[in-house]
Amino acid sequence: CNLSCSYCFSQQSRSVGLLDVESVEAVIDYTINSESINKKFIFIGGGEPFLAWEDLKRAIQYIHLKKNINHKVLIVITTNATLLDDKKILFLNKYGVELGISFDILPEIQNSQRCFANQKGTFTVVDNYIRQLIKIRSTITSHNVAKMAEMVQFVVDNYSGIKYLHFEPVSDSQDNTTDFYTEFVSNFISARRLGLQYGVDVYNSVTNSIDKLNSRFCRGEFCTTPTGEIVACHRVLSKEDPLFEKMYYGKVANDRKSLNIDDNRKNEIFAMFNKKLPECKNCFAMWHCAGGCVYDQNNLTLSQLRAKCYYIKSLIQAILYERLTIKTNSYGDK
């Protein structure tokens, strides 16, 4: 990665390796040949995909080469946007690639929380290309939790094309407290109401779950690390991660032409994703958060988990109250 973000979840376990193109193509082949007609490829994790632009281009082209007419293909890239340029954007548009931009909006917050490795700020670099997008994802920490409404106003005033703002509280930090989440919910609702006035949908993973009944937070993922291991969570980046052994269930074969998947191990791991906390049994929000993230269950302290439960319940209550008191919802429907 070319940044040194203050809240990066992968600082301790990021791999310095780069998945070779043959392994990437083996993973694509495996996915294309699976039974589902819906094929979703996400380039995400503890690094910046555009640092490997030529390999990324080749992977995107290979996906389109291998898919057939019946496949519904979605390609998503999560990026810090510091390496975007007109040529890359034209290529991504050609292949229908969806960009997920991590951007903390306000110049002073972006420059302090999402700086380059040399500590130089990134706002000016990213600002130019944000104008060509329609949605932004911002991580909310104690430094900007009281600034969410200000962030919405900044977007309205400076980026007229942005219609979706994803505000997600930071994970794995000292901010995982009840006090922080209380402040988050209050300021998030204020920002959401301001966005509503301008036709900007302010949302996050909890608000997206309101209209769903989920039996589990995540069904388990099919992710490839830079060294070719298959793991069930994109936050597990290498063997250095303490949860690697819990999430590992396969790898790219030595010939780089196929994958070796331990189906028994895979089934055991995916069953773990059905696990609920004891508090879930009588919780009104259980069918929305469905027990929460398995990575968090295994990584956060008990007090942090309970603080996160408090946050989810509080935000769901706030959104339900919003629906009872505001005649127009965030999508403009009467």
Helix (H, G, I), strand (E, B) or coil at 164: strand
Q: Is the pLDDT of residue 152 over 60?
A: yes
Give 146 or 238, the one with higher predicted confidence: 146
DSSP 172: S
The predicted pLDDT at position 13 comes to 65
Tens digit of each residue's pLDDT (9 = 90 or more) over 254-311: 999 999 999 999 999 999 998 888 888 899 998 888 888 999 988 888 899 999 999 9
Q: How confident is the model at residue 125 (pLDDT cuts 50, 70, 90)?
A: very high
Alpha-carbon distance values, 334 to 178, 323, 326 (Å): 34, 11, 10
Per-residue pLDDT tens for 240-268?
899 999 999 999 999 999 999 999 999 99
Residue 311 CA from chain centroid, whole number: 18
| Residue with the larger pLDDT of the pair 331 and 163 | 163
- Over the stretch 220-233, which tens digit does the pLDDT of each residue have? 999 999 999 999 99
pLDDT-based confidence at residue 334 (cuts at 50, 70, 90) = very low
Q: Which letter, b or e, does each residue of 202-231 get, where b requires 16 or more Cβ atoms within 10 Å of its Cβ? A: bbbebbebeeeeeebbbebbbbbbbbbbbb
Q: Specify the 3-state DSSP secondary structure of 318.
A: helix
Q: What is the pLDDT of residue 330?
A: 46
201-203/223-224 β-pairing: unpaired
| Statement: residue 25 has pLDDT above 60 | yes
Q: For the chain, what percent of residues have pLDDT higher than 90?
A: 69
Beta carbons within 10 angstroms of residue 334's beta carbon: 5
- Given a contact cutoff of 8 angstroms between Cβ atoms, the answer to whether 288 and 214 are in contact is yes
Task: Provide the pLDDT confidence category of residue 59 given band limits of 50, 70 and 90.
Answer: very high
Mean pLDDT over each residue of the chain, to the nearest integer: 91
**42, 49, 17, 15: which is closest to 28 by C-alpha?**
42
Least confident among 60-69, 105-114, 317-326? 317-326
8 Å CB contact between 123 and 136: no
pTM over cut 0.75: yes
